[in-house]
A and B are shown apart, each in its own frame.
Chain A
């Protein structure tokens, strides 16, 4: 009876676990195994030769991989930090009940709804050195043209990503903002807080849990961006915009090295895992520290 009781929850969880295993663990395991093979797309996985950690070692010493990793890190860092600042800033500005605000908010999230390939094409046209919107405008103003997708390729790619994904942070931040306890903000007003102080001392700290998750989601996404960059620059010029996802795709299709591509994916996965775990560990550590401090003080009094 007792044992049965204890097992019941697992019984209920079983279907979910099975689905998880099939949908997540199997492909992951497949990729893991593949990363230890010298594997050509024309071979089945059974025919590929097992080479141990060779793929990992090769990548570890490959300067092109390093370059690609570095580009990815730069891209993700700038995209996510600028998007967070803009998205949260916009949310703070538009969190009021003025007529027409609903319409404005809807307008703001339009970019997110456009297919990435279309976004890439759009921006590629706007960045065009001679007939693109930007350079024509600059020209019209008598300013020198900018070599958007050449010299400043990474910046241009980052701008396009910011344009597309700031709305994501905007709507999540806005939702967080609107679910804050109104009364705490009112209390802050009474306590003499200016608009800035309300944001800094009340709103942002209370939004923080949502913002952390949002940032994390964006970060994971930014590490995997593919289409926009593929359409805009194809990773060029040189390796200047070849982020890891692009390199993985090219390794698999152009260089026909599935094993190396899988190994690269695993490196990316480990990086993301590390970031996520570090983030959660950090918040845990902060909580634990606050608790310890409090316990110590309460024991004194």
Chain B
């Protein structure tokens, strides 16, 4: 259960650089989740930690010791591959017990462990099937089981639940959360699923084009994204971005555009000195906008409601404000008529501002 430190990790495939100096420190027993759009280098990072890809530059440290010259088998880790990577010629039980059999553990212990893990994954009936005779989701669970039978110090998961139905995924997620509390291992987990990332992570790492954008606790990233990319990536439905101009009016600062003039509060008022008439991108989450016909003008947003999508307790409204499209999340019972311009209120403490050019948070 080492602490893992990635020091300016670089990966090059010939001339193409896919990781640009990844700097990451993972504490003992930490559950780290890597998220990012497809092709951003999550799997590559994971495979370098595992020792399956060579390190082009930089170094990986386990407990302060450089390991990039070590073979995968000397790094004491278990991994769930994105493409499962099951042994086609072995049945489920033998797939799951392969590592233990190599370690020459006693037969009874192996059997017990395999049965246990198979039961938690709902694979007990399939122990004697070959991978070719399983469905995609079943194979994925076998891949998971193969990692869970090991007692490695570090677990690497590359989208381990991507192929399961929603219900099974929920169950597995709970299983994983339980396990991570119980066994106290390092877990590094790649996922596209926001809920998985938010619920499981001690630390979320958002990557984009081979660069870490931001890392930290889930709330931290959600509430204080450092740039527009992170803000837009976390949260569903995604954050709204509106072009606006900053205007100082007396001691107060407003973000102004067609349809709104929002007064800024708290630390954002400090922007008044630097930024009169400065163009910015205003970000606000759909859940931070509410229907409020009587909202004061300095908090109000005039929106023309175009479409309402019913998703149970909540409805998602697609609206128009000037030339911008805005999504709003409201309680489904809110009485709204489509096609009308209505007044909504924005919580001034939940407004995010980003520089237009650098896209960094202001």
Contacts and interface: CB of A to CB of B under 8 A. Distances in A.
A192 B73 contact: yes
A193 B127 CA distance: 22
B128 A298 contact: yes
Tier of interface size on chain A: 20 to 34
A107 to B, nearest CB: 27
Nearest to B150: A191
Interface in B54-79: 71-73, 77-79
A202 B129 CA distance: 17
B89 A205 contact: yes
A206 B102 CA distance: 18
A183 interface: yes
A190 interface: yes
Contacts of B102: 191-193, 197, 201
Contact of A201 (B84, B91, B98): B98
A187 B91 contact: no
Contact of A194 (B73, B79, B99): B73
A61 interface: no
Interface in A256-301: 293-294, 297-298, 301
B98 A294 contact: no
Nearest to A294: B128
Interface in A142-188: 181, 183-184, 186-188
B292 interface: no
Interface string B79-114: 101011111110100000011001100000000000
A74 interface: no
Nearest to B94: A201
Nearest to B84: A183
A189 interface: yes
Nearest to B131: A184
Given A190-B73, A192-B102, A202 B87 contact: yes
Contacts of B178: none
Contacts of B84: 183
Interface residues of B, number: 29
Contacts of B71: 189
Interface string B126-140: 011100000000000
Contact of B98 (A188, A206, A297): A188
A186 B99 contact: no
A183 B125 CA distance: 26
Interface in B123-164: 124-125, 127-129, 146, 150
Nearest to A185: B85
B50 interface: yes
B72 A184 contact: no
A186 B85 contact: yes
Contacts of B79: 187, 190
Contacts of B99: 191-192
Given A192-B73, A194-B73, A201-B98, A301 B85 contact: no
Nearest to B89: A205
B275 interface: no
Nearest to B133: A294
Contact of B87 (A188, A192, A297): A188
B125 A193 contact: no
Given A192-B102, A206-B88, A297-B127, A187 B81 contact: yes
B91 A184 contact: no
A262 to B, nearest CB: 44
A301 B125 contact: yes
B338 interface: no
B307 interface: no
B25 to A, nearest CB: 23
Nearest to A205: B89
B83 A183 contact: yes
Contact of B128 (A188, A193, A201, A293): A293
Given A186-B52, A191-B146, A181 B85 contact: yes
Contacts of A181: 85, 88
Nearest to A191: B99
B188 to A, nearest CB: 13
24 contacts: A181-B85, A181-B88, A183-B81, A186-B72, A187-B81, A187-B87, A187-B146, A188-B87, A188-B98, A189-B51, A189-B52, A189-B71, A190-B77, A191-B73, A191-B78, A191-B146, A191-B150, A201-B98, A202-B87, A294-B128, A294-B129, A298-B128, A298-B129, A301-B124
Given A183-B85, A190-B78, A294-B91, 4 more contacts: A187-B79, A189-B71, A190-B79, A192-B99
Q: 6 tightest A-B contacts by CB? A: A183-B85, A191-B99, A187-B85, A294-B128, A189-B72, A192-B73
